[in-house]
Amino acid sequence: MNDRKQQKFGWIGGWLGGFIWVLILSIIFLVQGKGVQAWIGLAITFSAVIVIVYSSPWKHPRTMYRLLMMPIYVLFFAACCPFFYRSGRSVSGAGMTTAPDHHA
């Protein structure tokens, strides 16, 4: 495999691997009837695929990697926020803690 194919495989495969959990959770939410969360997750996944392909380093060889990765990281963190919010977790201090369950 030549260097360019390895770069393409690493960029696309790595980023898609980072977003696969969003797709899986979206499908689970769709099956559970949580339509809003499911469609938001699917929209983020679809947007991520477009941004991953568009911002690939071989299409922008003179652009620094950190600038190419920035919109992908924004989508990644945008995907994390609703899932943590809906799962009842909060971020505090150095780590995540489970919020008290007020519905018990």
- Domains of the chain, by residue range, sit at 17-86
Round to whole Å and give the CA distance between 101 and 64. Answer: 45
pTM summary value: 0.70
What pLDDT score does 94 carry? 47
What distances in angstroms separate CA 21 from CA 1, 5, 61, 92, 104, one per listed residue? 28, 25, 29, 23, 28
What pLDDT score does 81 carry? 77
Find all residues with CB under 8 Å of 12, minimum gap 6, and list them. Answer: 52, 53, 56
pLDDT tens, position by position, 19-74: 999 999 999 989 999 888 889 889 999 999 999 999 998 888 899 989 999 999 99
pLDDT confidence bin for 99, thresholds 50/70/90: low
β 89-92/95-98 pair status: antiparallel
Round to whole Å and give the CA distance between 72 and 55. Answer: 9
